[in-house]
Amino acid sequence: MVKEALLIVDMLRDFVEKGAVLEVPSARKIIPRVKKRVEEAREKGIPVIYICDAHREDDREFDIWPKHAVLGTKGSEIVEELKPQEGDFIVRKRRYSGFLGTDLELLLRELGIERLSIAGILTNVCVFFTAAEAAMRDYEVVVYADSVSALSEDDHKFALDQLKRVLKVKVVG
């Protein structure tokens, strides 16, 4: 049996809450589906891993984006509806991919994970680069199309199409 983990990408207050610095309005719409996926994973004993932006005050990413998800601020917190529970994992990142400069791969190896299912935001940025890097590291990757979102429908569709056609990621839902 293939050992699976569920990755929840950047469902943070600075992205999800109304009026947040980098608000993604469509992120609020996927919360019920993401929550359902988390609950199903926990019921099946599938590890839930939260991949979270956690920037330093002077992070170079702020040359591109407004200051957001600074480690230790309210904005860097996971939204209340999706709060981690005991036994869940949190991996903090400073760039788009959940793998770059993090201990995600070490954690996945320790857990014996072969398949990653992904939900969260943004379809065309952090979800995309995490899924792409996972595929290039030979993990089986599933992205839940109904549980990811982007700032525009075009960005969302393009990213899912690229994941499916170029990287052979399984896009479902």
What CATH number should be reported for the domain holding residue 44? 3.40.50.850
Say how many C-beta atoms besides its own lie within 10 A of residue 36's C-beta: 13
Whole-angstrom Cα distance, residue 158 to residue 134? 19
Average pLDDT over residues 127-134: 98
Asked whether residue 136 carries a pLDDT value surpassing 90, the answer given is yes
Question: For residue 27, what pLDDT is reported?
Answer: 97
Q: How confident is the model at residue 2 (pLDDT cuts 50, 70, 90)?
A: confident
**Long-range pairs for 149-157 at CB < 8 Å and ≥24 separation?**
149/24, 149/26, 149/27, 149/29, 149/30, 149/121, 149/122, 149/123, 150/24, 150/26, 150/121, 150/122, 150/123, 150/124, 150/125, 151/24, 151/26, 151/122, 155/122, 155/123, 155/124, 156/26, 156/123, 156/124
* Helix ranges restricted to H, 23-149: 25-44, 104-111, 126-136
Asked whether residue 126 carries a pLDDT value surpassing 90, the answer given is yes
Domain count, the chain: 1
Q: Answer yes or no: are the C-beta atoms of 77 and 67 closer than 8 Å.
A: no
Whole-angstrom Cα distance, residue 4 to residue 46? 6
Global model pTM greater than 0.95 = yes
Helix (H) or strand (E) holding 148: strand 140-149
Structure tokens at 109: 């190896």
Question: For residue 138, what pLDDT is reported?
Answer: 97
Whole-angstrom Cα distance, residue 12 to residue 78? 4
Average pLDDT over residues 47-70: 96
Question: For residue 1, what pLDDT is reported?
Answer: 79
Question: For residue 151, what pLDDT is reported?
Answer: 95
**How far apart, in Å, are the Cα atoms of 74 and each of 10, 17, 46, 47, 138?**
14, 11, 28, 25, 35
pLDDT digits (tens, 9 = 90+) for 15-57: 999 999 999 999 999 999 999 999 999 999 999 999 999 999 9
Q: How confident is the model at residue 81 (pLDDT cuts 50, 70, 90)?
A: very high
Q: How confident is the model at residue 58 (pLDDT cuts 50, 70, 90)?
A: very high
Residue span of the structural domain in which 20 resides: 4-172
pLDDT digits (tens, 9 = 90+) for 138-156: 999 999 999 999 999 999 9
